[in-house]
């Protein structure tokens, strides 16, 4: 595995949404991202204590917790990794609240939004590599 492969922790309990994310990444990338899927908050927290990931894609509605509590628990374990909140909710107020509470980006679930997310992550990685 190449050293420059970026690890993306996908915290998503819905199998259909997880499949959409995985298929979109496979279609739009050349393997520069390694997706690590966790179905629960506890699984994600355990994964974050085991090693470095470059991005966290976080569904706020998980079996153990929902809403901003989910984000707060992730941030308590990892305050520095960029968190992209994924939601099926069209609530613009929720987007503002997640950004105010530590998320770096907010993306609605859906094929076109996930496509944009992949492009944004690629741009972010490119920007970071140029800044070094």
Instruction: Go through the domains of the chain in sequence order and give each one's CATH number.
Output: 6-131 (3.40.50.2300)
For residues 52 and 58, what is the distance between their CA atoms, to the nearest angstrom?
16
Q: What is the mean pLDDT of residues 104-114?
A: 78
Residue 111: is its pLDDT beyond 90? no
Q: What is the mean pLDDT of residues 95-121?
A: 82
For residues 21 and 48, what is the distance between their CA atoms, to the nearest angstrom?
20
Residues in the chain: 132
**Integer CA distances (angstroms), 98 to 84, 93, 95, in order:** 10, 9, 5
For residues 11 and 46, what is the distance between their CA atoms, to the nearest angstrom?
12
Residue 106's DSSP bridge partners are 85
**What pLDDT score was predicted for residue 40?**
96
> What's this model's pTM, rounded to 2 decimal places?
0.87
**What pLDDT score was predicted for residue 104?**
87
The CA-based angle 72-97-103, given to 5 degrees, is 50
Q: Which residue has the higher pLDDT, 131 or 121?
A: 121
Q: What is the mean pLDDT of residues 51-69?
A: 91
């Amino acid at each position: 595995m190449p050293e420059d492969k970026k690890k993306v922790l996908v915290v998503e309990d819905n199998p259909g949404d997880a499949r959409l994310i995985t298929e979109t990444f496979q279609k739009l990338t050349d393997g520069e991202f390694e997706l690590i899927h966790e179905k629960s908050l506890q699984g994600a927290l355990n994964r974050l204590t085991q090693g470095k990931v470059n991005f966290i894609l976080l569904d706020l509605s998980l079996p153990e917790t929902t809403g901003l509590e989910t984000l707060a628990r992730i941030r308590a374990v990892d305050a520095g990794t960029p968190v992209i909140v994924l939601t099926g909710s069209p609530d613009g107020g929720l987007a503002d609240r997640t950004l105010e509470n530590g998320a770096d980006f907010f993306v609605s679930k859906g094929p076109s939004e996930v496509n944009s997310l992949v492009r944004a992550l690629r741009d972010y990685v490119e920007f970071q590599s140029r800044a070094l």
